[in-house]
Structure 1
């Protein structure tokens, strides 16, 4: 499993609209091959700051399967206008420490 982690900053005063757009976009990502789960967390200290966590079966499920799909174009249309600055996406894998 791969964890996609993205710190998001949305434009001032757009929080409610962004969250509604994200609800719509959630329907898109959840249908993609390799998708496991996702969650959006709202920062308590910084207005307009969010953390997106998405679990994928493989890195390629996100970077190729989703990012190169027509569904991603709809995702972008719904969400990307809200971001300022544009977010950096990072991927993580579990470290087995036992």
Structure 2
């Protein structure tokens, strides 16, 4: 399993509209192969700042399966115009400590 982590900055004054759009777009991502779960966290200190965490079975489920899909084009259409600057996506894997 991998975790996709994205720090999002939403344009000022568009936060409520963005959250509504994200709720709708959540149906898209949750239908994708290899998707496990996702959550959107709102920053308490910085207005318009969010943290998106998505769990995928494999890196390729995100980078190929989702990002190269028709569904991603709809995701992009619904959400990408809210971001400024455009976010950087990073992927993480669990470190086994025992």
TM-score range, shorter chain: over 0.9
TM-score, scaled to structure 1:
1.00
Q: Following the alignment from structure 1 to structure 2, what is the Cα–Cα distance between the partners of residues 28 and 65? A: 13
Q: Following the alignment from structure 1 to structure 2, what is the Cα–Cα distance between the partners of residues 25 and 92? A: 23
The answer for unaligned runs of 5 or more in structure 2 is: none
4+ runs of 1 displaced by more than 6 Å? none
CA RMSD of aligned residues (A): 0.2
Q: Which residue of 2 aligns with 1:19?
A: 19
Shift of 1:82: 0.1
Shift of 1:95: 0.2
Q: Following the alignment from structure 1 to structure 2, what is the Cα–Cα distance between the partners of residues 78 and 10? A: 13
TM-score, scaled to structure 2:
1.00
